[in-house]
Each structure stands twice: as structure tokens, then as C-alpha cells.
Amino acid sequence: MGQYERLILLAEDQLTEYSSDARKIEKLRQKFGLSVSRREQDEIRTQLEAELPSGGIAKIVEDQRQAVSLPFWGIAGLGLLFGIAANQPLDYLATAGGLAGAIVLQKWGWQLQAKRLVLQTLQDIKQRIENPSDKK
């Protein structure tokens, strides 16, 4: 596993904690500063800036992944309900499709959020190196 994937996993771990983005960035900044060289930080930052979406559906999924996947959870629930109530095995296909769609959207949004958190952390590190007197 390369540094890029490791940093994304560290950010995903931070997303599980209920805290502000500033606190998450502060925790990650300490971890990144100790384990990732300056050159690697620049390479990863450049890669993330090119990779992350600035608009469109990906930005909506990143910001509102739960709201976007909610209709798919509803389809899965209704498929299950109608499959059981009406004894229709084909309705279970709607359950499987809705469940798969919801999970894929949730996972995609989670990964986009983690990447955005890594990018924000690396930008914060760069800013603090360039302007050591600036404190947020």
C-alpha cells in the first residue's frame, strides 16, 4: 500500500469520529507531518487536486451522500416489503438493486470526503510551512 492509499485510510478513520473539520485536520496534520516527506506531500496534493471534482454529481454526492442514497434505500425497503407482502419473488430484485445502489453511492461519497479531507490537511501543512506566523 502506497502513501496515497494510507493517507486516504487515515482520513477515513478520522471521518468516523464526531468532531469538527478543523479538529480532524489538526489530528491528521500531526500524523502526516511525521510520516510523509515534503516531496510526497506535494505529489499527493497535486494528484488530489487533479482528481477531485469541483462540480457536478460527484460534488453533490461528496457533500450529501446520505441524502443522495436515501431514494435507493427506499427502493430496497419497498422491494422487500412488496416481495414479502405480495409473495412476489421478482420484487426482491428491486431490493437487491436498491441496496447495491445505496451502498455504492455511500461508499463513493465516503471516499470523496476522505480525499477532500486529505487535500485540506495537506494544504494546511503547506500554508503553515510557508507562513509560520499565521495561526488559525
Task: Locate 113 and state its grid cell.
Answer: 470526503
Task: Specify the residue for cell string 407482502.
Answer: 85
Residue 136 is predicted with a pLDDT of 53
Closest CA to 119 of 1, 2, 29, 30: 29
Residue 113 near residue 21 (C-beta atoms within 8 A): no
Residue 1 is predicted with a pLDDT of 62
Residue 54 is predicted with a pLDDT of 81
Task: Locate 123 and state its grid cell.
Answer: 494544504
The residue with greater pLDDT, 59 or 1, is: 59
The model carries a pTM of 0.84
pLDDT in tens, 21-72: 889 999 998 888 788 888 888 898 899 888 888 888 988 998 999 999 999 9
